[in-house]
Chains A and B, each alone.
Chain A
Amino acid sequence: MARVWLFGKDVNTDQIVPGRYAPYMLKNEDDLRKYPFVEARPEFASTVQPGDILIAGRNFGCGSSREYAPLALKMVAIGAVVAPLFARIFFRNALNLGIPCFTADLTDVLHDGQEVELLLDEGIIVTAEGQRIELPPPPGFMREVWASGGIVPFYRTYGRFPGEAPA
């Protein structure tokens, strides 16, 4: 099972990865995996497990354009991020990297540390207690990008951008 990491609203990219821990500043780029929420939640990076999900309040990922914020989450293999509203650059970066983002407010439904399972294809979260939570279906183009594994493989496969008519 995966666990829920619960966050409040307006979680900004400086909280996800402070600028001082950018790959640009590190000797070894792979070290980025040590720094998601390094100051906001110091226990996160060392205890997060692949497939864990982030449940957050409004405006998740506001602030900088730094793609290394969602990249750090990808490096620790976050299963999905669920928030009622995403800051737009974060949302795009996460889509480009193939990190599933669902637009829903589950901050009052799930609690921090709760055990859950994410059924990504069906868009359902099942709690250890057996509660089934349906996530709003993402637009078709987002599923296409996820299915390709991100925007770069998508572009290389189709030679076009999402939503663009095939040449």
Chain B
Amino acid sequence: MAAQTLSEQILSHAAGQVVKAGDVVTVQVDLAMMHDSLSPSIIKVLHQELGAEKVWDRDRVTVVIDHVAPAASVQTAEHQARLRRWVAEQGITHLFDVGRGISHQVLVEEGLAQPGMIIVGSDSHSTAYGCVGAFGTGMGTTDVALVVATGRTWMRVPETVLVRASGRFRPGVSAKDLALRAARILRAEGATYAAVEWHGVDFLSIGDRMTLATLSIEVGAKAGLVPPTGAAAHLMRIPAWLGVQPGASYMWEIDIDLDQLEPQISMPNFVDNVVDIRDVGQVAVNVVYLGTCTNGRYEDMIAAARILNGRKLAPGVRMIVVPASSEGLQQAASDGTLTTLLAAGATIGTPGCGACIGRHMGVLAPNEVCLFTGNRNFRGRMGSPDAQIYLASPEVAAATALTGYITHPQEVM
């Protein structure tokens, strides 16, 4: 048999026959994720349009309240109350309610996402599950409703773009810089209809792998997979049939030398509008926002706290930290990371999506400038369409919070 990419292996296994890029397959899904923002419309399609009474498997349909958590209005509170009732009626096993955290982070922490699985989420950043070597993909309301009703979906087996990293990050440089560098080369559409595989990152934690996997959608990818190898994989349940096969065919291969990598900044208003930090110029910021499924984890808070340690935010700068999960928040609370952040002048929000989609908890005013550790800087994403969003790593976020303008971490380390 010809060597296969990780996506070809996973989709072959799920389809029960050998498939290759370009084939259209119908597959059994292992896990479905729906969040509060789209659940009302998914439930409507499920019951009213598809006429399904029950979800296909109450253990495999997971519900997370993260997008507006806690509720920001009577309207969203009502939707969430109805969602909780529906979860109870359906007997759904896994509901992660307000404050538990962002869907992707939570499903990985809970061990629900495992290597080789096919995971469909009602969220474009469901590529996140690639951090454990799962084929995670985002779909819209109707597709997710079909998955929730039938346990199955159909898709084209994607070609694969290979991003091969070598070397090690220099101080102040991290996984986010690798991801943004890849977006700079591939551009926003470089992996459309394709999967991305990230090689040479065996040394990274699961969290850092999720940074790479979530950013994969920003180059158009259907899935973004990190092979489940290295120290971080030792607790994963890895199927014997899953692994990198020499000779698998890739539509595009790019190499990134981490030893040479500078902090990368994604300039407004497109994620792939990326430059080295030294080419940004003097950009004063109003808000530094550390959070999201891309960089709101415990290790991201630690990275920021190391730089902020014992110092204060620049006058006039607000720093908002919204942890990706309650587990991360607890860890940060128990080892003093949180105290360091608070002492510097940062404020902490409820674990969840926060202001990532501009609905609550730190929405931006016109002409405000935000340094954001998230994954999208589209116009209007975090509030006013006249605000400016720059994407960067947690290290750059912390350095910027200290000086008040976009700053190379090494200048303050």
In the complex formed, the residue of B with least CB distance to A24 is B37
B24 and A156 within 8 A (CB): no
Which residues 135-162 in B have Cβ within 8 Å of A in the complex?
138-143, 145-146, 152-154
- Taking a contact as CB atoms closer than 8 A, the residue among B45, B138, B193 that contacts A152 in the complex is B45
CB distance from A66 to the nearest CB of B (A): 7
Q: Does A158 contact B (CB under 8 A)?
A: no
User: Which residues of the partner chain B approach A107 to less than 8 Å between Cβ atoms?
Assistant: none
Which residues 46-79 in B have Cβ within 8 Å of A in the complex?
49-51, 67-68, 73, 75-76, 79
Which residues 123-167 in A have Cβ within 8 Å of B in the complex?
141, 150-152, 155-156, 160-164
Q: Does A92 contact B (CB under 8 A)?
A: yes
Q: Does B264 contact A (CB under 8 A)?
A: no
A39 and B379 within 8 A (CB): yes
Which residues 349-403 in B have Cβ within 8 Å of A in the complex?
357-359, 376, 378-381, 383, 385
- Taking a contact as CB atoms closer than 8 A, the residue among A20, A152, A163 that contacts B142 in the complex is A152
Q: Check A85/B192 contact, CB under 8 A, given A67-B140, A67-B142, A96-B142.
A: yes
A65 and B41 within 8 A (CB): no
Please list 9 pairs of residues, one from A and one from B, whose beta carbons are closer than 8 Å in the complex, sorted by A's number. A18-B385, A20-B380, A64-B124, A64-B357, A65-B124, A85-B192, A92-B139, A161-B153, A163-B26
Q: Which residues of A contact B (CB under 8 A)?
A: 10, 12, 14-15, 18-20, 22-27, 39-40, 58-59, 62-68, 70, 85-89, 92-93, 96-97, 141, 150-152, 155-156, 160-164
Q: A67-B140, A152-B50 are in contact. List 20 more A-B contacts (CB 8 A).
A: A19-B37, A19-B359, A19-B381, A24-B37, A24-B75, A24-B76, A39-B380, A40-B379, A65-B121, A67-B38, A88-B220, A89-B140, A96-B140, A151-B142, A151-B146, A152-B145, A161-B154, A163-B25, A163-B26, A164-B154
